[in-house]
Chain A
Amino acid sequence: MPDNAIYYQVAYGAIIALFVGYAFSIRLRRQAIARKRRDAERAR
């Protein structure tokens, strides 16, 4: 059996990083919108 575990380990790590990074980007964008809303309410 070929010794090639590193490829699946890298693939799994990359997939997890991709999803976590994307979820984090949604969170950051929502926080930015909430900040803008607060600023707008404060300016009113």
Chain B
Amino acid sequence: MTSTPSARARAGIDWFALVAIVAMGAAFVRAIVFTPPDRLQGFAQKIFYVHLPSAWVAFLAFGLTAIAGGVWLFLKDPRLDRFAESSAEVGVIFTTGVLISGPLWGKPIWGAWWVWDARLTLTLFLWFLYLGYLVLRSAVDDREARARYSAVVGILGALLIPFIHLSVYIFRTQHPTPIVANPTGIQMPGVMITTLFLALGAFTLLYVALVRARMRLASERDALLDQAAAESTP
């Protein structure tokens, strides 16, 4: 028996979400079962396969939020605003993942759940900033004003991203320098690199699936508000 697209839509699951779930499952199984632990750090090093992809997706999400907001300022297309809103919310979720997995890795390796070094502190500020972005959106009723204010905040917030990336070079930090985006090349065994790139792909697919779902929610909410406004107009 095959289900129709409308039946799948009613069930709230689309093909892209299914692909993302399968990819995430594959990444977790490979990381847990088929990737050896690090000789020095032990099993705690496996946190790397969720920590770095979460950070990558968070930066991608906030970068795209800024771009969508910037383009909205010129085109005023509501779809861009809905995308920016959705990408920012999903970015906050992935940043939450970074802020959960980081301390769980730091405790066994550094001996501390948290240190106030530049990389960690700026990441926490990024999280607060985009939480503020979401609170701002919920506080403004006028749709055009909300899109304009949030576009500006989204663009300014994304300016933190290069500072976060470069913070390990600019400041003396507890956080190590990048292992993948390193000018001297990737400093890891092949089996770990494969797992990392599988996880990066899976997390990126999950980002797209979640943004698609969140945009559907935003479209349905706006349609409901439009309908209510049309009915209240005499």
Q: Is B77 interfacial (CB-CB < 8 Å)?
A: no
B44 with A2: CB separation less than 8 A: yes
A36 with B224: CB separation less than 8 A: yes
Interface size on B, residues (CB 8 A): 40
Q: Is B62 interfacial (CB-CB < 8 Å)?
A: no
Interface majority SS (helix, strand, loop, mixed), chain B:
helix
Return B82 CB to nearest CB of chain A, in Å.
Answer: 13
A23 touches which of B39, B108, B210, B228 (Cβ 8 Å): B210
Interface residues of A in 1-44 (CB under 8 A from B): 1-5, 7-8, 10-12, 14-16, 18-19, 22-23, 26-27, 29-30, 33-34, 36-37, 40, 44
Q: A19-B93, A26-B210 are in contact. Are A8 and B224 (CB under 8 A)?
A: no
Q: Is B214 interfacial (CB-CB < 8 Å)?
A: yes
Residues on B with beta carbons closer than 8 Å to the beta carbon of A10? 104
Q: Is B71 interfacial (CB-CB < 8 Å)?
A: no
Q: Is B194 interfacial (CB-CB < 8 Å)?
A: no
B105 with A2: CB separation less than 8 A: no
Residues on A with beta carbons closer than 8 Å to the beta carbon of B216? 30
Bound form: Cα–Cα A4–B96 in Å: 22
Residues on B with beta carbons closer than 8 Å to the beta carbon of A40? 224, 227-228, 231
Q: A18-B93, A37-B227 are in contact. Are A8 and B46 (CB under 8 A)?
A: yes
Residues on B with beta carbons closer than 8 Å to the beta carbon of A16? 28
Interface residues, chain B, with chain A CB atoms under 8 Å away: 12, 24, 28, 31-32, 37, 39-47, 50-51, 54, 90, 93, 96-97, 100-101, 104-105, 107-108, 206, 210, 213-214, 216-217, 220-221, 224, 227-228, 231
5 nearest A-B residue pairs (beta carbon): A5-B43, A2-B42, A4-B108, A8-B46, A4-B44
